[in-house]
Amino acid sequence: MKKELLMGTALVSTLGAASVAEAVTATMSGNHQTGLEFDSPNGGTDTNAQINDNNFTVSLSETTDGGMTISSSFKLMDENSGSGDVDAGLTLAFTDGSKLDVISAGNASGSHAVSIPGSAGAEGVANTSANASPTGLDFMTTSTALGLEYHTAADFLADGLKLSVSASTDNGAAAGVTYKTDSHFAIGATYVTTAGDSTVTIGAGYSESEGSKTGTSATDDDGGIHVGISAVTGDLTVAVGFADGSNAGTSDNGSDEYTAEVVKAGVKYVTGDLTFNVGVASGEADDHAIGGADGADDSQDVTSASVSYAVASGVTAILGYTTTESGDEGGGSADDGSAWYIGANMAF
């Protein structure tokens, strides 16, 4: 009887193994960054805190017999707080070099925002006011999960040119007291060329969104433009960017909107195991209640710098510094101050 049971078990195991499809290819990557921040606001009490940034990403992909690659990924973020990001959709990469993102595809304008160097540290002056002024080039690039983003192959229409276009629709949720994005359309482009010994990258984008809030129509839905240029000459990178647009659903209760513009510039220099970053950002915003009249401007001017040292393969020590000057509703702000950061990043 024992022999029959063993043979039956072996047969079931063999048949079960034969019926299981081959798994997709999975790769893992991530980082663990930890350090100390020393925050010194001009209008408040100095504080010290440990800052952690823990990311673990699993990427999945497989190629069909026709040569199309289907891929997706999921990310576990900041395990200390238990938060995660499982909203990744699917990416279809075609044999001609083009790609199509489906489900939570993002915004084509934001995909082409030029990266501007700034501090590699995790420091920042705590913002305790209602200051709405942004300091990023992609502050107006919203979308919904029900969307698509198409990326052309490289050298589209001209050598060095890539384009993307995206659109998303209403997620079906009822409008409430908090503003929600109903739909968006966006287009973005990146052009890479050479000028002498330099590689020059130009990125630009345009986005328009529509949203809703119970009983009130927004005066300024999300939308706007950005443009940036970056030049890399050997170990030196210099970049500058500009953005102008509007954003709705801001503040703690999602009931404000604003129009804003941002100017950013930065420099990065690499010498051996050392990397030096310096960046400045200046943002202004006119914030008010959704559907309300324009008010006084908010402002924020941020200067940051850092020194990074490659201690070993995948291990980087970081020393960063940031100083902020700001204004809220046309007046002064308690958000001014400076902050230091010292820590290390371990990437895999």
CATH classification of the domain holding 265: 2.40.160.10
Strand 198-212 and strand 223-233: pairing? antiparallel
Contact between residue 117 and residue 279 where contact means Cβ atoms under 8 Å apart: yes
> Per residue in 254-269, pLDDT tens?
678 888 999 999 999 9
186 part of a folded domain: yes
19 part of a folded domain: no
279 part of a folded domain: yes
Distance CA 173, CA 249 (A): 15
Distance CA 76, CA 58 (A): 9
Mean of the per-residue pLDDT values of the chain: 85
Structure tokens at 223: 């939308």
> Per residue in 158-217, pLDDT tens?
999 999 999 999 877 777 777 888 889 999 999 999 998 999 999 999 999 988 877 777
Residue 11 is inside which H or E element, if any?
helix 2-19
User: Mean pLDDT, to the nearest integer, of 309-315?
Assistant: 95
Range of the domain at 287: 89-347
Structure tokens at 228: 């940036």
pLDDT at position 10 over 80: no
47 part of a folded domain: no
How confident is the model at residue 344, as a pLDDT? 96
234 part of a folded domain: yes
How confident is the model at residue 257, as a pLDDT? 82
Distance CA 282, CA 302 (A): 6
> Per residue in 313-342, pLDDT tens?
999 999 999 999 888 776 666 678 899 999
What is the pLDDT confidence band of residue 21, given thresholds at 50, 70 and 90?
low
52 part of a folded domain: no
> Per residue in 73-85, pLDDT tens?
888 765 555 444 5
> Per residue in 67-120, pLDDT tens?
999 999 888 765 555 444 555 789 999 999 999 999 888 899 999 999 999 999
Domains in the chain: how many in total?
Answer: 1
pTM, two decimal places: 0.82
Question: Which positions ≥6 away from 288 have C-beta within 8 Å?
Answer: 219, 256, 257, 258, 294, 295
Structure tokens at 92: 């279809």
140 part of a folded domain: yes
pLDDT at position 251 over 90: no
247 part of a folded domain: yes
